[in-house]
Structure 1
């Protein structure tokens, strides 16, 4: 019997691929050899990287909120993934960041959100009008951020690099779950 490729990658192969990419990024870290740029010389590299990562997570939370508001039927499916992204924002926040900067783990109710199907969120892409397309767009955002974090971790200090690798792997799993037929089952 001839061997055929599976139609979808397994969760284990996704995590292994993310780990391989993270390892490759660590081994091939590139630098121009120069020191830190003149911007915010008093602010540590780790703090700047953490602040950027938190902002990225907050933008992703806005996308989750806009998608849930535009497609209320998806809210329950998105809630655990959104909660994980909020936890990532909290974990990435530096110890000296103000407490109100980190995102809440509770999603806003669709009735209080101003987003509607196809309406843009401030500074974000519009939510597609069809639920399947909205899930694909959210998966693309998760995948893109996971890839960016995988690249970024090469220049991150040790503990932050490990955290970014974990969060990137989780983002890759979120992207899979958002587009997987098994992801829509409770």
Structure 2
């Protein structure tokens, strides 16, 4: 029995995947907003919500640095410059937001909060997530590197929805987070 071509050719796997990807992309670009208050977040602009989230994330990361330093004081010198960079990121994100009318004094919050706990303070050795800091310095550095990496990846993902200047700032902060993760995971004076 000879093979006959069907009247309608079947779509190829590639065309089906391309169509699905296009539909998903269109859905992401247009959004699924029905105008409900939950999606509009009661009139708070997207940039402000994203900026406030980024500041909170940086503040949590600062708390993680402080808890690690409190648990392992010998790491204070190594973690100090990285913590200072995270504090500067939090302050820059908050300062940009306060200039854009974010209100409620968010320009002073993160920088004051970030510098309130010195690196050698007697803070409890518990990370902001409630989990204890690992008992060995090497494990603590690995945990901090994982936290930096996770936050950098989350910020990279959020770039898709961020407005222009905020997207550039988040990209820079995410890149810095990846560098921090690398530095935390590498052995000083040795090859990683």
TM interval, short-chain normalised: 0.7 to 0.9
Question: What is the number of equivalent residue pairs in this alignment?
Answer: 153
User: Paired residue for 1:66?
Assistant: 67
Instruction: Indicate if the aligned counterparts of 2:60 and 2:128 stay in contact, CA closer than 8 A.
Output: no
Structure 1 SS opposite 2:44: coil
- Structure 1 consecutive aligned stretches of length 4 or more whose deviation exceeds 6 Å: none
User: Paired residue for 1:170?
Assistant: 176
Over the aligned positions, Cα root-mean-square deviation in angstroms equals: 2.2
**Alpha-carbon distance in 2 for matches of 1:183, 1:38:** 54
Q: Deviations over 1:53-78 (max 9, x none)?
A: 00000000000000001000000100
Structure 1 SS opposite 2:32: coil
Q: TM-score, normalised by structure 1?
A: 0.74
The offset of 1:91, in angstroms, is 1.2
The offset of 1:37, in angstroms, is 5.5
Pairing 1:14-29 to 2, within 5 Å after superposition = none
The offset of 1:121, in angstroms, is 3.7
Structure 1 SS opposite 2:31: coil
From 108, 113, 129, the equivalent of 2:122 is: 113
Greater Cα shift, 76-85 or 86-95: 86-95
Q: Which runs of 5+ in 2 are unaligned?
A: 1-24
Structure 2 SS opposite 1:52: helix
User: Paired residue for 2:37?
Assistant: 38
CA pair 101-78 structure 1, distance change in 2 beyond 3 A: same
CA pair 159-85 structure 1, distance change in 2 beyond 3 A: same
Instruction: Indicate if the aligned counterparts of 1:63 and 1:124 stay in contact, CA closer than 8 A.
Output: no
Greater Cα shift, 94-103 or 66-75: 94-103
Instruction: Indicate if the aligned counterparts of 1:135 and 1:178 stay in contact, CA closer than 8 A.
Output: yes
**Alpha-carbon distance in 2 for matches of 1:173, 1:50:** 21
User: Quick one: higher RCO (CA 8 Å, sep 6+), 1 or 2?
Assistant: 1
**Alpha-carbon distance in 2 for matches of 1:127, 1:33:** 40
The offset of 1:109, in angstroms, is 4.4
CA pair 183-87 structure 1, distance change in 2 beyond 3 A: farther
From 141, 144, 150, the equivalent of 2:150 is: 144
